[in-house]
Structure formats: C-alpha cells, structure tokens
Amino acid sequence: MSIPDAEPSPTTPRIRLGISACLLGEPVRFDGGHKRDNYIIGTLGRFFDFEAFCPEVAIGLGIPRPTLRIERRDSLPRVVGVRHPDQDYTDALAGHAHARQERLAGLSGFIFKKDSPSCGMERVKIYDANGAPDKRGVGAFAAEVMRLFPHLPCEEEGRLGDPTLRENFIERVLIHHRWTALLAHGLTPGALVEFHTRHKLQFLAHNQAGYRRLGRFVAQAGSHADLQALAGEYQREMTEVLRRRATPQTHANVLEHLAGYLKNALDEGDRRELQQCIADYRTGQLPLIVPITLLAHHFRRHPHPWIAQQYYLRPHPPELALRNRI
C-alpha cells in the first residue's frame, strides 16, 4: 500500500510544518520579543515537527531592528522601513523564500504569523500615499511561499483559534502529506485510484461538485496517455475542493450517506437514535464527534469494507479533539 497511515502518531515519521519562528517562542521580533503560541507548541507539537523561518532576520535585519510596514507604491505593495521608507525589503524577503525552496518543498503545511508585513498570510495593513491603511495586504515572504507552493496548506496562528479553520488546516496537512508520499513512492493508476477512494467522503464533505470532478479525473487513470499530467490536474482540483470549508450541513449529508450503509444492519431503535443524533448535529446541538463516534461504534459491529477504507471517520489524531466543539 502506497498511502501512509491515516494519522500521525509518536511512532510514525513526523510530519514537518513550516512556521514563523516567533510563534515557537524564538526571540526574533523587531523588539527582541516573541509570540510563543502554546496551542501550536503544546498540542500540535505532539504530532508535528516544526521548521522555523524568520525572513526578516534571515535577510540580515538583525535583532532589535526598525519596524517595517507595507506601503502601496505605483499600485504595488512594497515592504519598507517605517522610519526609512526609502529602504525597500520586498525583493529580499521574497528572495528568502526562493533561497529556501528545497526546505519548503519537504513541508506538509505552513503556519504564518498574522499581521506581519513579512509573514502575514492575508489582511495585512497596506498604507497608501496619505498614510491611510486598508487590510488587503499579504506579507512579502508569505506571498512568495504561497506562489511557489500553491498546494501547500497554509494558515495563520490567529485563525487556528477557529475550530472549523483549525480542523480544515490539519485535515489538509494530512492529505497533502499522503499525496506527497504517494508521488514519492511512485505514481501508478492503482495508487491514484486508491488515494481517491480512501478520501472520497472527505472530499464529499467539502464540495459535492468538486468531488464528482475528481472522480472524473480518476476514471481516466488507467487509459490516460500522461499520468503525471493527470495527477497534476487532480491535485489542482483537490486543492480547490479542500479550500471550501466543510459545514455542519455538508458533514450531516455525509453522515446520512454513511447511515445508509447501516439501514439493514440496525434495528428500529438504533436507526432512530442515529438519525436523531445526525439531526441534532445538523442543527448545532451536538458536536461532530458525537455522530461520528456512534457511526464508528455501529461499523465496528457491522463492518463494511468500503467504509473501513475511508479516512473520514478518523481523519486526524483524536487527541487533537478537532471535532469536539459545536
């Protein structure tokens, strides 16, 4: 089998995430401080290894250093010194991403520091000629990382506080990791079909139309003249599918679909209990983990080979408790 285990554990090879160094508690900020994030270090750190990047230090700005900001010059965003706006660091910061391409290529995701003119992933302040800011900027280093690696799952530490975004990010990281492993082990039509089959319910929870488009790519796997090109198309579509957030409605549809596999196995009371549980999740009275646990319980007693292959029922380590909130 070419696809690694469904989830990382202390005994499997550790998945590597890039991260803005200050989030790990490294004293690299302009004032010599840091922005240590206890959730990232204490919780995610049990399952993932981190590779720290501080682009401002890497380009020689030193600690402490003058503060930077993004200004709009001739309609283009430029990262400049606040006190010395003639000093433009944009190209150097983007160049640091280029220089580290090899390290970046080995990552399964990246956590950026929000609001930073170098590391911010979105909604960073850009100042116009009058000194008025709007929040439509992207940090120069982060922008280049995302341009070079458009399929790399990226998130900001602030957004990881949102349970839906947090689960979506970790799910994308693990899928990206499995996809990279598949390519590293050798792409074959069978491996592509297996990858798709095992992720079907996850894709379905994100985007039903995209799920069908992915299926059409896979249907060509055995006959397509250029399997690499087909896999490239598949990955582009998969990135788009997973970018759309799964919602309680779309999850509930998948749960109903799963319940359908049990309709002949359960008695009337168990069926009603399962339906009610899914309905209560759909209306926000229960967290996703409750119907998932009930379904997993029934599938343990009434195994189904196709369901047993699906990552959906256990897409990430339960210890991360990513489905435990309403």
| Single residue of 28, 201, 218, 238 touching ligand SF4 by CB under 6 A | 28
What is the smallest separation between the CB atom of 14 and ligand SF4, expressed in angstroms? 21
Stretch that binds ligand SF4, among 20-28, 79-87, 209-217, 289-297 (CB under 6 A): 20-28
Q: Which of 7, 8, 24, 29 binds ligand SF4 (CB under 6 A)?
A: 29
Stretch that binds ligand SF4, among 98-106, 116-124, 222-230, 244-252 (CB under 6 A): 116-124
Question: Least separation, in Å, of the C-beta of 61 and ligand SF4?
Answer: 8
CA-wise closest residue to 119 among 59, 53, 75, 163: 53
Binding region for ligand SF4 (CB under 6 A) out of 14-22, 76-84, 202-210, 306-314 = 14-22
Minimum Å gap between C-beta 121 and ligand SF4 is: 11
Which one, 21 or 252, has the nearer CB to ligand SF4?
21
138 binds ligand SF4 (CB under 6 A): no
**Cβ distance to ligand SF4 smaller for residue 13 or 66:** 66
Q: Which stretch binds ligand SF4 (CB under 6 A): 111-119, 256-264, 269-277, 303-311?
A: 111-119
Q: Which of residues 52-81 bind ligand SF4 (CB under 6 A)?
A: 54-56
Residue 96 and residue 81: Cα distance in Å, rounded? Answer: 18
Question: Which one among 118, 202, 207, 239 touches ligand SF4, defined by CB under 6 A?
Answer: 118
Number of shown-chain residues binding ligand SF4 (CB under 6 A): 12
Helix (H), strand (E), coil (C) string for the chain: CCCCCCCCCCCCCCEEEEEEHHHHCCCCCCCCCCCCCHHHHHHHHHCEEEEEECHHHHCCCCCCCCCEEEEEECCEEEEEECCCCCCECHHHHHHHHHHCHHHHHCCCEEEECCCCCCCCCCCEEEECCCCCEEEEECCHHHHHHHHHCCCCCEEECCHHHCHHHHHHHHHHHHHHHHHHHHHHHCCCHHHHHHHHHHHHHHHHHHCHHHHHHHHHHHHCCCCCCCHHHHHHHHHHHHHHHHHCCCCHHHHHHHHHHHHHCCCCCCCHHHHHHHHHHHHHHHCCCCCCHHHHHHHHHHHHHCCCHHHHHCCCCCCCCHHHCCCCCC
Q: Are 254 and 288 within 8 A, CB to CB?
A: no
Q: Rule CB under 6 A: which of 292-311 touch ligand SF4? A: none
Amino acid at 152: L
Q: How many residues does the chain have?
A: 326
Written as six digits, the tokens of 282 are 């759909």
Q: Which amino acid is at 323?
A: R
* Residue with Cβ nearer ligand SF4 (29 or 282): 29
Region near ligand SF4 per CB under 6 A, out of 18-26, 155-163, 190-198, 247-255: 18-26
Q: How far is the CB of 97 from ligand SF4 (least distance, A)?
A: 12
Task: Work out whether 20 is an interface residue with ligand SF4 (CB under 6 A).
Answer: yes
Q: Which is nearer to ligand SF4, 124 or 221 (CB)?
A: 124
Using CB under 6 A as the binding rule, whether residue 90 contacts ligand SF4 is answered as no
The residue within the footprint of ligand SF4, chosen from 17, 21, 107, 126 (CB under 6 A), is 21
Residue with smaller CB distance to ligand SF4, 28 or 294: 28
Indicate the residue type of 218.
V
Q: Are 48 and 17 in contact (CB under 8 A)?
A: yes
CB of 282 to ligand SF4, least distance (A): 39
Summarize as ranges the residues that interact with ligand SF4 (CB under 6 A): 20-22, 28-29, 54-56, 113, 116, 118-119
